[in-house]
Homo-oligomer: A and B are copies of this chain.
């Protein structure tokens, strides 16, 4: 799971619902994940998609400038366009500032 950083990073919460035809989607998603991981200010990413087709991806960034640069990355922009044309029925994006974070692993005491 992604690691919180100080100063508090920015979280980008991307929720999407797939349309009828997922052909080619997995490859694009994998490519975008690899590309984001190379981007300046990238801190981590988690993704889950359930059997109902709702997916949530949360990516973490150093600051808002890094988020904007990733949003405007030319290959990412092409993927966003393709996503609207081919794959997604709907999506939402929320950009949020992390105020606090805590983690727990089996065997540890409760985090608070």
Query: Which of A's residues lie within 8 Å of B, judged by CB?
Result: 1-2, 4, 10-11, 13, 15, 17, 19, 46-50, 54-56, 58, 64, 80-81, 84, 88-106, 110-111
A34 vs chain B, min Cβ distance (A): 18
| Least CB separation from A46: chain B residue | B15
Known: A48-B49, A84-B106. 4 other contacts (CB 8 A): A47-B50, A88-B104, A90-B103, A96-B97
Whether B92 and A104, one on each chain, are in contact in the complex, defined by CB atoms closer than 8 angstroms, is yes
A21 vs chain B, min Cβ distance (A): 12
Whether A96 and B49, one on each chain, are in contact in the complex, defined by CB atoms closer than 8 angstroms, is no
Are A94 and B11 also in contact (CB < 8 A) when A49-B48, A106-B89 are?
A: yes
Docked pose: A19 CA to B104 CA in angstroms: 13
Whether A88 and B106, one on each chain, are in contact in the complex, defined by CB atoms closer than 8 angstroms, is yes
